Structure 1
Amino acid sequence: MIRRSSTTLVAAVAISALVATAPAGAKPAETRPGTVVRVSPATGLSVVAGSASAEVLRYRMTSVRGTVVEATGLVLLPPGAPPAGGWPFVVYNHVTTGAADLCDPSQVTPDNEAAELMTRGDDIATRLLDAGVAVLRPDYEGIGVPGPHPYLIGRSLATAVVDMVRAARRLEPRLGRDWVVAGHSEGGVGALWTAAADQPLPRGTRLHGAVAFTPVTQTALELELLRQLPATGPVVGGLSALGALILWGAATTDPRMRALLRTGGLSPEAVALLPHLEQRCLPGLSADDSWAGIAPADIPGDGPAGDELLERLLVVMRANDPAAVVVRPGLSVRIDAGILDGVAPLPFTEQLVQGYRDQGVDVTYERWLGGHPEVVRDGWAAGPAVDWILERLAEQ
């Protein structure tokens, strides 16, 4: 492992001095979004093969409600000395793991029920590290820290990215200015919202591209179809769990939705399972004693409250669909899809790609013979996607 350099200590002393001399009433520098709370060594499965240094960064970000909250993520550095100007880096956003605090990939342990989900981007991370590229892996708002997780809320995911970049560059001066954002599934949504033309980026950096593996799109349409299913089963049960996470996440943006979750918007059976969303990761939520035990049609409450909850949910999901992103001018995008994907169906992904191309975006689009999990692995998109990233980072 590379030990923390003396420059970090000097930076910490300088920040402390700045805070001590801040004018009365001014917001202390160390409480602003993008500042470091603390750093600790990563352990176990979080230490990705190929990393010379692996640390868990706790930092501050702006929450979906506009307040400053804490978030966590993993900082992986490659071996050797950085090139002139510092290491280029990739922010890799993870697939859906859940909304509970124990679902944070930066603290993954072998016995965690979602360990496979939390490590699913490791093939890509190792390839990047071997190529001399640093990797940042945010856990997202509300995962691993107090507070709800705004699942599939694009601005929250993008803010977790940019504020982690700010904090990581304060922590590690060997990180350069050139970067690419990437992500899988929920993380693909985050990558594409980071690419939005109106998303502020960290000062002094240059975003070269965005990569989305099986990004979830047209969620509102999927929910409208899902709510009609009167029975559960092995496949449908997993979709019920995802639907519950979507409801939980959307409610973080809408106070009325939060109230409806417990005042008639959901069936009594669904209300009884709400605590599971802060206690279990996706595999546990997909168990028969949890959300998989409820048919999708039985999740909403009867009557006007149930109808209102669903109407509000659809509004939120349409607003946060990656199809709503107006991509930053001149930014290249790559999208990789699974032909057999049951979570992000291929026709929806192809409509997303066409929508971006209609904007004039340079989109590289590849389809792979596999489902939702396989696309990010070696033998599928991992190698070609990393090659694409390296080409973008080499651009001047």
Structure 2
Amino acid sequence: MTMVHITSSSDSGVADGAASPRSALRRGARGVLAGVCGLALACTGAVAVAPAASAQTGSVSDNGFTHPDFYAPPSELPGGDPGQLIRSEPMGLAFDGLPGFWQGDAQRVMYTSIGARGGEVPVTGTYIRSSKPAPGGDRPLAVVAPGTQGAGDQCAPSRNFETGLNVATSPPSISPGYEAIAAWTLVDRGFDVLVTDYEGLGTPGQHTYVNSDAQAHAVLDGARGAIAASDGRLSPESPVVVTGYSQGGGAAAAAAEAAPDYAPDLNLKGVNASAAPLDLRATLKQVDGNLIAGVIGYAINSFLATDPSLQTVLDEELNDAGKRLLADTANQCIGDSILTYPLRSTSDFSKSGESLDQIIERRPELSELLDSQKLGEKAPQVPVRLQGNLNDDVIPYEPIKNGAASWCAGGTAVEFVTDGLPPIVPRSAINHLAPYLTNANAVNDYLVGRVLDQPAPQNCAV
């Protein structure tokens, strides 16, 4: 049983960005980060520390981190339909020896998908087989689309699930395995669970953060990969549900919209999409100046990797601090970005002193790019639970409410849920994080209802 994994891979450090925020803000950022890490650990057990060699063998990559050999894809991918299993191996789970935790066994998997640029790519993930009784008849599969982990390969959920908390000392990095909470509670309900790492998170290439198509494909192909890895335990007829929060909520919503055309072979029963960034421009505007403002770097790097022609725009608009933001965040986990770029305004990173939203307003190539990523306009053909947080300080509420109305008009059975948690500490992301925890049981109840073929709750007339 390994709880916290501490590793040292090189003697290069992570820069602290341009003009440093006040020390008080840094202390606050560290406090929130400590709370997130502590919560992830407290939900699964006590802390143990393991030496780096126990879990990480492989080569040191360009960003200074050691990446286990499993994550190096074969020189030739299988070709053919996406969702093929490339390889799998047994893996441990943090706290799996403690009573009441992880009633099942796990595999690390690599499968094929269609990436952001339209070609075949390898994607990794974690497949967990539940030993608890299945709800109903056939064993169901839940695909968990993770919330923001970061952009560096060391942030992949399939890596921090083994340890609970990945801590690297050189270069410094911290990655809490908080999505173990969602996976564990679903395993406890009798679901087999596949948690995707998404494209470029663990595997080579830039992580395709908030790219709707790439994330939808990684989720749906993850279900196919889990079926292939199950040794006959699952089949194409097995009931499948998808769930996600924040970045994962967007991925789940994208999967719901894409499934009829992209994955008609899956027996998709329903989707939960909570705090989903359905409108990226509105989301970027809300995140600007927030504790997790560094995620804007993840998004820019993601779209730059997909469309290198954007480099010209960035060269024209970003100052040296902005370029450093992109370089730093390209390999950071969310904990790193909280510590290095808390509460930063995008106006600090532009030559003109304008905010990113103001630049988008006068650059049609940027507004068109973000418009192409909008979700909530193509009605899914399965029931959806769509949750918006009224006072969310990261993901705006109105686009989610509008998405629910649009899907309802298209015939989707939508249960639109509003979390009304009052504002606590503005710009701290607390009003974004807390509903993830307080709504967990309601989400799982909804997913169980879908695999039992119960009438889907809906409030489209509200």
Q: Does 1:133 align with 2:185?
A: no
1:174 alignment counterpart: 233
Paired amino acid for 1:247: I
2:434 alignment counterpart: 374
Cα gap change, 1:374 to 1:83, in 2 (>3 Å) = closer
Q: Distance in 2 between matches of 1:339 and 1:273?
A: 30
Check whether the contact 1:185–1:213 (CA below 8 A) recurs between aligned residues: yes
2:159 alignment counterpart: 107
Cα gap change, 1:35 to 1:278, in 2 (>3 Å) = same
2:91 alignment counterpart: 42
2:51 alignment counterpart: none
Q: Distance in 1 between matches of 2:270 and 2:104?
A: 25
Check whether the contact 2:300–2:326 (CA below 8 A) recurs between aligned residues: no
TM-score, normalised relative to structure 1:
0.79
1:169-208 to 2 correspondences below 5 Å:
169-172=227-230, 173-176=232-235, 177-196=238-257, 200-202=261-263, 204-208=265-269
1:12 alignment counterpart: none
1:343-382 to 2 correspondences below 5 Å:
343-370=394-421, 371-377=431-437, 380-382=438-440
Q: Distance in 2 between matches of 1:226 and 1:386?
A: 28
Partner of 1:160, secondary structure, is helix
**Cα deviation code 1:38-89 (max 9, x no counterpart):** 2122234396933311111112221111222211111011106779985211
1:4-153 to 2 correspondences below 5 Å:
29=78, 33-45=82-94, 49-79=101-131, 86-108=138-160, 109=163, 110-112=165-167, 114-116=174-176, 118-119=177-178, 121-153=179-211
Cα gap change, 1:285 to 1:28, in 2 (>3 Å) = closer
Q: Distance in 1 between matches of 2:387 and 2:292?
A: 22
CA drift at 1:391? 1.0
1:390 alignment counterpart: 448
5+ long unaligned stretches in structure 1: 1-26, 228-235
CA drift at 1:295? 2.9
Check whether the contact 1:36–1:59 (CA below 8 A) recurs between aligned residues: yes
Cα gap change, 1:148 to 1:276, in 2 (>3 Å) = same
Cα gap change, 1:266 to 1:291, in 2 (>3 Å) = farther
Paired amino acid for 1:375: P
Aligned mate of 1:276, from 308, 325, 328 = 328
Identity over aligned pairs, percent? 23
Check whether the contact 1:73–1:106 (CA below 8 A) recurs between aligned residues: yes
CA drift at 1:389? 0.8
TM-score, normalised relative to structure 2:
0.69
Q: Does 1:213 align with 2:265?
A: no
Paired amino acid for 1:186: Q
Cα gap change, 1:354 to 1:58, in 2 (>3 Å) = same
Q: Distance in 1 between matches of 2:152 and 2:364?
A: 26
Check whether the contact 1:73–1:164 (CA below 8 A) recurs between aligned residues: yes
CA drift at 1:226? 6.9
Q: Distance in 2 between matches of 1:56 and 1:318?
A: 35
Q: Does 1:285 align with 2:337?
A: yes
CA drift at 1:395? 1.5
Q: Distance in 2 between matches of 1:226 and 1:36?
A: 37
Superposed CA RMSD: 3.1
The alignment covers a number of residue pairs equal to: 353
1:13 alignment counterpart: none
Q: Distance in 2 between matches of 1:344 and 1:197?
A: 22
2:7 alignment counterpart: none
